[in-house]
Chains A and B, each alone.
Chain A
Amino acid sequence: MSLTNLFDLKNKVAIVTGGGNGIGKASALILAQAGAAVAVSDLKLSDAEEVAEEIKKGGGKAIAVECNVTDDDHLVNLVERTVKELGGVHILINNAGGGGGGRESPFKIDVKRFAWVFELNLFSAWRLSQLCAPHMKDGGYGSIVNITSMGSINKSPNMSAYAGSKAALNHMSANLAYDYGPFGIRVNCVGPGATKTAALASVLTPEIEEKMLAGTPIKRLGEVEDISGAVLYFAAPISEWVSGQVLFVNGGGVQTLD
């Protein structure tokens, strides 16, 4: 038996949102390594294009699509172009997300901003799942991986919108797993701890990092490859009997921003 069978994504098409940088980029690259054709989508088209180029240089197949996940027309276009240019959708990585970073003081955040955080982290994942599921059903293979956060189960200061939206993402995923299961579509979440990306760098100070490491049994912060390894596990046939799960990848600890 060879590894390639367990992880083989040949003839599979994957969509990655926020695929231009960080965790999304690492996920797009590893899925391509396993043989998938990847629609790399991002708010910033040029970043998506760079990642698609890298995949093609490595002998893989990829397209770059500009997509703001809070814009419904963009989501519809992303799925249409993927189906047209790559021939279907089998894997969906709902990675684009954000807000948080301790910027959501309940005294200051307004309704619009709060709703936007949910649109970004929750509604986008729901809507893209809805758009992709029929193609997964037709294609005979479906795996949706939603990138959640330790924030979904931890309490952190001024993070109620982000944490609430990610907690909702966990439970929405578990429920979608029930609904989609009979059609051969699996839905799982990967929950990163503090992982070295631009998003983290924008809020990290040496003091915060030291405190984070003190609370982390495996004495380092996450690398994007730690997260994309878990994404590959859930995306690939190796986990064909696993659905509705949240896997936290966090060095065993809690990394908080306070």
Chain B
Amino acid sequence: MKKTELLNDLFSFENKVIIITGGAGAIGSALAELLGNLGANVVITDINQERVNKVASEIQKATGKETLGLVADSTDENQMKELVDKVVAKFGKISGLVNNVGWGAATPIWGSDTEKMVNSYKLNTLSAYNLTKFCMPYLEKEENASVIFSNSRVGNTPSPEFIEYSTAKAALLNMAKSMAVISGPKVRFNTVIIGSVDNGESTLDAGFTMEMLQKINDSIVMKRRGFPADIAHGIMFLMSKAASWVTGVDLTLDGGGRYESKMPKKED
């Protein structure tokens, strides 16, 4: 095979329909654009109506691929069911799912409560369980179908500053691996453990200051926080034909890690 032909074959997403949750956000939209450029019809779902429509039409324009933006709250089980019906009605199939929705605020470790803990679990963990379950009958019909889970370094390291978020992400990590051992050979399940990525206002909303972010830049082995595209690239590889014997893994995308192991304390 000639050079570009081989790469194009390994990394083609032509005739694939991929759902990305939280797709109007930083990482989701970068991934949607990449997969669209590689030939996929992408469906982005988000709770933010204005942004989801804007991002979908921008991506459709940039990639020339029909791209669907759907408003849906990932914490609402019925809306997830309806979402699957809408995608199948529109495109007739589902070839891949990226459970990318997720967020968590910094909380003092003893400052949480049942409601906050459960809400974080609903957003970060249950959302992925429900949507994956509803997509499975369709994924099982597709070649090299795969499901990706956006996880975080808080999900596999002690993270007292993010007790709600970190425990929910830890549960998500285990869930992905449990799905992987039982659901082959039809569908692959892989996790990306995401380091500190510039997603604009969301990071600031979570309680980080610009000063804290500069400190993080300096402490990262590759000397910078990630771009959303860095994460999109890793996810694309894991979903591609080149990774068709890869399942049940967690791949850390974090600029090589940090020279100090602790997250900066809020008061730093």
- List A residues at the B interface (Cβ < 8 Å): 1, 3-4, 6-7, 30, 33-35, 58-59, 177-178, 181-182, 186, 193, 216-220, 222-223, 226, 229-230, 232-233, 238-245, 247-253
Contacts and interface: CB of A to CB of B under 8 A. Distances in A.
Contacts of B10: 229
A3 B7 contact: yes
B243 interface: yes
B221 A229 contact: no
Given A218-B247, A230-B243, A252-B247, A7 B7 contact: yes
A47 B253 CA distance: 36
Contacts of A35: 3
B246 A249 contact: yes
Interface residues of B, number: 47
B53 interface: no
Interface string B27-50: 000000010011000000000000
A34 B7 contact: yes
B44 to A, nearest CB: 18
B222 A243 contact: yes
A242 B234 contact: yes
B2, B3, B181, B223: which has the most chain A beta carbons within 10 Å?
Answer: B3
Contacts of B244: 218, 226
B251 A252 contact: no
A59 B237 CA distance: 26
A222 B223 CA distance: 36
Contact of A250 (B182, B222, B234, B245): B245
Nearest to A187: B256
A216 B184 contact: yes
A3 B38 contact: yes
A186 B230 contact: no
